[in-house]
Structure 1
Amino acid sequence: MTAVLNISRSILGQPWRWRGSGTDGRDADFRPDDLVAGLLMARGVPREAVEAHRAPTIRGFMPDPSIFRDMDQAAERLADAVTRGEPVTIFGDYDVDGATSAALLIRLLRGLGLDPQAYIPDRLMEGYGPSGEALVRIAAGGARLIVTVDCGAQAFEALEMARATGVDVIVVDHHKCAAALPPALALVNPNRLDEAADAAAHGHLAAVGVAFLLGAALLRTLRARNWFATRAEPRLIDLLDLVALGTVADVAALRGLNRAFVAQGLKVMAQRHNIGLAALTQAARLDRAPTCTDLGFALGPRINAGGRVGKSDLGVRLLTTEDPEEARTIAAELDRLNGERRAIEMLVTEAAEVAAATQGNRAVALVSGAGWHPGVIGIVAGRLKEKLGRPAIVVAMDDAGIGKGSGRSISGVDLGAAVLAAKDMGLLVAGGGHAMAAGLTVEQARLDALADFLDDRLAADVARAQDGRALLLDAVLTPGGINPALVDALDAGGPYGAGWPSPRVAAGPVRIVRADIVGQGHVRAIVQGDDGRSIKTIAFRQADSALGQALLGAGADRRLWLAGRPKVDDWNSRPAAELHLEDAAWADEHR
């Protein structure tokens, strides 16, 4: 990749490189719209497919659901349940992907005349995934069919116990599978090792995306049975708001079908048909249609808060209620729990960072602590990964010496596969996940052996990923080029998220007009370029970093190149653009 502005080592110690061919927006004839095609191609879109990706549609990216193994069997069994009026229970995970997957199937089955029940396990008391005891209890309560969503791919013992009761179980999941599969009537998962290539190509789908495909297969099956000859067919497309939320919150790669899910789902969400989502949007103090960023940082965390520090079923109840008052009550409770979660998260993050600092330069930061709340360890692992630039696993130990762990990885390092391998080696009580995230249960006595195993397995991958580390840029602009028209043009290349990074630009050179610290260690600055134009910038949580210190201490005679993501500042009646900073470089050192 070509260097940008000859910057081989920035203030944060990294080279700047073009993501693709790059765009020099300092030319007088530059138009923001010219950026969009380049953005798409820099993210892997062939030139001939640019238009299809510019405005992704479900029709343009939706595969035939039948390409997935067991999909037709699952659809037929669900269709039988609909036509017979059988009792069905949806067993979901306690995170946003699980809640939205469960809510999607519940709302769809309600539209087909059933009254499905939801079962969400308690994170602290029951842990992740279906337990045999829970499935047996559900069967004893009268369920004839159980559908697990966002869990079940590794639930061998639990599904054996369920099978012994005679209840049918369909597994809808996206986590990595072992070569052997647990006993289920159908196991729909694009990450099955025996999937054909066309189905495996959709391994980046979140569970809610797989649930949507199952919904499409179910409606097609019922259509073939003439079920809708005298009945209205539910509009599956109206449930895309749930698909968008679950996809973004689960940090699924926004490629292909996922981009279509999110792009179209945001349009559905803007209509506020889902009473619960509308109430949550209001509780999050969003007075406009939610954006992709809002899904990941405002709505998703609030639904997650129920499973992390409150009642695990709050999210599903909110997303399936038809009672406006109940929706407002649950949304307010989730908002309160989210504040509680943030306070707990801050304490655990501080302790985890101290523990990681004593480990030296291990390939994977594996930290543990007694009394850490299991509900926040995934978030803390993500923060630790970002700070250290390597995979991180955070383990909350209980009084019996058993730890629940959550891990987050960096691009190019498959943490889920490593956790599965550790489980196969007998180092874990349980474990699974996907490339970028994993969960595990481990005995305290095996923590050191687990750390050594992960080091041996992943050291080379981590080293390669770190050697290739660079700040990737899409364009170089003058400060005056950071304006609302630019942000609007960049939005046309979205939605952005995991696997489809939002555009990052360099702007400058600039001088610091004013800089100060605001909020929780954020550095706010007004900068002015050689073109005489001034823009606002902010560097989040950088007050103590080299970047923050450079912004705060730059003299009037020093000029900087800035790198970051243009955003619209809509606090005032007249929207203006600002730059969210991620790095900077001294202009006089790079000419």
Structure 2
Amino acid sequence: MANGGGSSPASASAFLGVSRSLSGRPWRQRPAEPGVIRAHMQALGLDEPLARALASRGVRADQGQDFLAPTLKALFPDPSSFTDMDAAATAIIDALQAGSSIHVFADYDVDGASSAALLVRWFRQMGAELPIYVPDRITEGYGPSAKAFDTLKASGADLVVTVDCGAAANEAVAHAAAIGLKVVVIDHHMMREQPPACLAVVNPNRPGCNSGQGNLAAAGVVFVLLAALNREARGRGLFEAREQPDIRQWLDLAAMGAICDVTGLTGFNRALTSLGLNVMSSWSNPGLKALLAAAGAEEGPAKVNHAGFILGPRINAGGRIGKSDLGARLLSTDDPAEAAELARELDSLNIARREVEKAVIDQAIRRVEATGAHDDGSAVVVVEGEDWHPGVVGIVAGRLRERWRKPVIVIGVDAVNGVGKGSGRSQPGMNLGKAVQAAWEEGVLLAGGGHAMAAGLTVKADRIGELRDFLNGRMAGEQAAAEALDAVEVDALIEPRAATRALFEQFDALAPFGPGNPEPLFAMEHVQVREPVAMNGGHVRCRLTGPDGASVKAIAWRCADLPTGQALLSGGGGLSVVGRLKADDWNGRRGVQFEIEDVADPRMAQP
């Protein structure tokens, strides 16, 4: 629904007069300082639309070059700026020199697998093999446990390095100390004020850490740890007889963690991701190369799409519904035959995961929308179902968050033991991890934690209603601000004839895209929808035609049953649309496709 152009403050800032689109969001032009726009045009030789897009992403006049061509030299932080980083490097090199048995304990997602593989590859170049322990999602749950540490101790471990987990595992780490097992924690998740009592807890989100690198994924923190390990080893003369590991060769693993954990792609993290995609483009990691082949994708320049939508879901499939260590083994192996076998297994698991995921999504949508819980003004949606697979609840929560534009927690309840395992995804401006941590501290949860945009939890089935009330009460104060943030921010107004490969490639200079650096959004007004087709999965394909008859292929994802999809399927003209330009290289062509994000109909009255 679009505003016809009134004089209210809301409509004055509404782009194309859209104060409420068919998805319920206002449209705005992404704000940018005129002086910064001019500075980027002059210093970098950019056209005004691209300079505006750069300025609107918070890139200052003196930061343009580092943003467009980031380097580690310019942006790499001092490892010592991370609390306990020097202590971690000291403890690990001490253990290496002493010949101690060092094991890595990793989370079961892409970030955990990438983090583990980074450590394994560094140790391999130092002449040592590092065993990997990844807990089973179903039987062990997230993060370290007393039982897991007992198992590691019994296997002969002297030192355990936890990656992408452990920062909130105070009790489990205390147990490790009690049985004589040394622990170093490398993490990025939210944690308590009191860190676990161990040799070192390196976490840029640890209270009091002054690194300023809180947007790093665990793989990014581990990458900095590798620099600290090189520095410590160099200081002890360990590279007099062997070559120092060149950590830059593993930037692809750091990029995998950053992209798949949906971290903010700004500053040093952007450099890791951008340079990591360059390294990935050689497809020299046997696991990534094999997984790309198993997915039926072609080698070529690596993009965020490769990590986030082709490789990442397959690596995650092992931890979701298969063997939890498959991803870490794939990313750390140097054996092409083993990589191919692991890749085939992960690809098969991913197919099964999709089927399980679709069934849970369908059930959850019916359950919530039948009660109106998605549209009752509440801050959070909490939905549960018996025997929903714990491995897919996070993906489902993400899909439902996109659909309802509010935080969603999806819980799979084990009917036998009466315990639910849940995962949540949040909206910008609403700190779900903090709220879940508070629920745990209040005794509502058996376990829980996470970060601002994602969280995991364990809850007794008979307390889910209490959890729903607690989270809604806790997060209600953030709701209004988050809804104000939930606007469609447009970079430029174009016509269908201007939606060209040249325009796509011009704005692709801003890549890689992600949180903190959103993909450019283009608006078109008064377009006609032609040849609309509903596709499997609820997608809508069509052509968008301008007044001059020029057109561009378009697609809108998972919206056929929503107002946006219905408007497209009804065809006709007069619509305004916002979307992204995507490369369309099918069968060797170098074209573009318009990926529709939102639709507004100026003929519909403002409610």
Bucket of the pairwise TM-score, normalised by the shorter protein: over 0.9
1:587: Cα distance to partner?
5.7
Deviation at 1:228, TM superposition (A): 0.6
Match in the other structure for 1:55:
69
Instruction: State the Cα deviation string for residues 287-306 of structure 1 (Å, max 9, x = none).
Output: 13331022111110000000
Q: Alignment partner for residue 400 of structure 1, among 406, 417, 440?
A: 417
Residue 334 (structure 1) aligned with residue 351 (structure 2): no
Match of 2:281 in 1: 270
What SS does the corresponding residue of 1:10 show, helix, strand or coil? coil
Q: Please list the CA deviations of residues 14-38 of structure 1 after superposition, one character each: whole Å capped at 9, or x if unmatched.
A: 22101124999xxxxxx98543322
Q: Tell whether 2:400 aligns with 1:384.
A: yes
Superposed displacement of residue 475, structure 1: 0.4
Output the CA distance in 1 between the equivalents of 2:485 and 2:239. 55
2:529 and 2:134 map into 1 onto residues whose CA distance is 52
Which residue is 1:563 aligned to?
A: 578
Q: How many residues align?
A: 579
Alignment of 1:27-46 (within 5 A): 33-46=47-60
Which residue is 1:28 aligned to? Answer: none
> Residue 507 of structure 2: SS of its match in structure 1?
helix
Q: For 1:346, which of 318, 335, 358 is the aligned residue?
A: 358
Matching residue of 1:96: 110
SS in 2 for 1:516: strand
Residue 26 (structure 2) pairs with residue 15 (structure 1):
yes
Distance 2:28 2:444 in 1: 40
TM-score where L is the length of structure 1: 0.95
Distance 2:538 2:463 in 1: 37
2:176 to 162, 178, 181: 162
Q: 1:546 aligns with which of 552, 558, 563?
A: 563
Q: CA deviation at 1:224?
A: 1.1
CA contact (8 A) 2:530 2:571 kept: no
Work out the CA distance in 2 between the residues paired with 1:395 and 1:494: 35
In the alignment, is the contact (CA less than 8 A) between 2:491 and 2:522 conserved in 1? yes
User: Comparing 204-213 with 567-576, which one deviates more in the overlay?
Assistant: 567-576
Once the two structures are TM-superposed, the CA of residue 349 in structure 1 deviates from its matched residue by 1.0
Take 1:391 and 1:78, find their aligned partners in 2: how far apart are those partners?
A: 39
- Helix, strand or coil at the partner of 1:227: coil
Is 1:121–2:132 an aligned residue pair? no
* Alpha-carbon separation, structure 2, partners of 1:497 and 1:377: 22
Change (3 A) 1:147 1:506: same
Q: Secondary structure at the match of 2:524?
A: strand
Native 8 Å contact 1:32 1:486 kept in 2: no
- Among 191, 199, 220, the alignment partner of 1:185 is 199
Where 2:410 maps in the other structure, the secondary structure is strand
Q: Give SS of 2:215's match.
A: coil
CA-to-aligned-CA distance 1:462-486 (integer Å, 9 cap, x gap): 2321144321100001211110111
| Distance change >3 Å, CA 348–CA 333, structure 1 → 2 | same
Q: In structure 2, what is the Cα distance between the partners aligned to 1:519 and 1:219?
A: 51
Aligned to 1:206: 217
What residue is the counterpart of 1:224 in the other structure?
235
Instruction: Say which SS state the counterpart of residue 535 (structure 1) adopts.
Output: strand
Match of 2:589 in 1: 574
Question: 2:429–2:485: 8 Å Cα contact kept in structure 1?
Answer: no
Query: What displacement does 1:246 show?
Result: 1.0
Aligned partners of 2:26 and 2:487 also within 8 Å: yes
Which residue number in structure 2 is paired with residue 233 of structure 1? 244
What amino acid does structure 2 have at the position aligned with 1:352?
Answer: A
Alpha-carbon contact 2:278-2:302 (below 8 Å) kept: no
Q: Residue 531 of structure 2 contacts residue 571 of structure 2 at CA under 8 Å; is this kept in 1?
A: no
Q: How does 1:251-266 map to 2 (within 5 A)?
A: 251-266=262-277
SS at match of 1:489: helix
Would the aligned equivalents of 1:275 and 1:324 in 2 still touch at CA under 8 Å? yes
**Secondary structure of residue in 1 paired with 2:206:** coil
Structure 1 pair 124–527 and aligned structure 2 pair: CA distance change class (3 A): same
Shifted more, 322-331 versus 566-575: the winner is 566-575
1:543-580, CA deviations, whole angstroms, 9 ceiling, x for partnerless residues?
2222222222233xx32222100111111332111210
Flag the 1:286–1:22 CA change in 2: closer, same or farther, 3 A. Answer: farther
The more displaced of 531-540 and 383-392 is: 531-540
Is the 1:318–1:330 Cα contact (8 Å) retained in structure 2? yes
- Match for residue 9 of structure 2? none
Counting only pairs closer than 5 Å after superposition, residues 510-525 of structure 1 correspond to structure 2 as 510-525=527-542
Partners of 2:108 and 2:316 within 8 A in 1: yes
The C-alpha deviation readout for 1:338-364, integer Å capped at 9, x for no partner, is: 010000001111122223222344211
Aligned residue type for 2:588: S
SS class of match (2:589): coil
What does the per-residue CA deviation read over 1:372-415, in whole Å, with 9 as the maximum and x for residues that have no partner?
10000000111111111111111111121111111111000001
- Supply the distance in 2 between the matched residues of 1:435 and 1:539 (Cα, whole angstroms): 28
Who is 1:171 aligned against? 185
Measured in 2, the distance between the counterparts of 1:383 and 1:491 equals: 26
1:536 aligns with 2:553: yes
Change (3 A) 1:269 1:379: same
Q: In the TM superposition, what whole-angstrom CA distance separates every residue of 1:221-280 from its partner, at most 9, and x where no partner exists?
A: 111112111211111011111010111111111111111111000111111221111101
In 2, are the aligned partners of 1:86 and 1:114 still within 8 Å (CA)?
no
CA positional deviation for 1:164: 1.6
1:194 to 186, 190, 208: 208
Q: Decide which moves more: 343-352 or 35-44.
A: 35-44
In structure 2, distance between residues paired with 1:520 and 1:433: 30
Aligned with residue 500 of structure 1, among 503, 513, 517: 517
Q: Distance in 1 between matches of 2:166 and 2:490?
A: 40
The question of whether the paired residues in 2 share the 8 Å contact of 1:94 and 1:307 is answered with yes
Decide whether the 8 Å contact of 1:205 with 1:252 is kept in 2: yes
Structure 2: 5+ residue runs without aligned partners?
A: 1-11, 38-44
Match of 1:295 among 284, 307, 317: 307
Is residue 366 from structure 1 mapped to residue 377 from structure 2 by the alignment?
A: no
Could you report, residue by residue, the CA deviation over 1:453-507 in whole angstroms, capped at 9, with x for unpaired residues?
Answer: 1111101212321144321100001211110111111110110012321010012
What are the equivalent positions in structure 2 for 1:445-456 lying under 5 Å apart? 445-456=462-473
Given that 2:33 and 2:55 are in contact with CA atoms closer than 8 Å, whether structure 1 keeps it comes out as no
Q: For 1:189, give the aligned amino acid.
A: N
Aligned-pair CA distance for 1:328: 0.6
Counterpart Cα distance in 1 of 2:603 and 2:405: 28
Residue 112 (structure 1) aligned to one of 126, 136, 141? 126
Give, in whole Å, the separation in 2 of the partners of 1:355 and 1:9. Answer: 27
Quote the offset at 1:518 in angstroms: 2.4
Alignment-derived partner of residue 442 in structure 1: 459
Give the conservation status (yes or no) of the 8 Å contact 1:35–1:489: no
Aligned partners of 1:444 and 1:17: how far apart in 2? 43
C-alpha separation in 2, matches of 1:495 and 1:119: 32
Q: Identify the residue that residue 8 of structure 2 maps to in structure 1.
A: none
Q: Which is worse superposed, 3-12 or 259-268?
A: 3-12
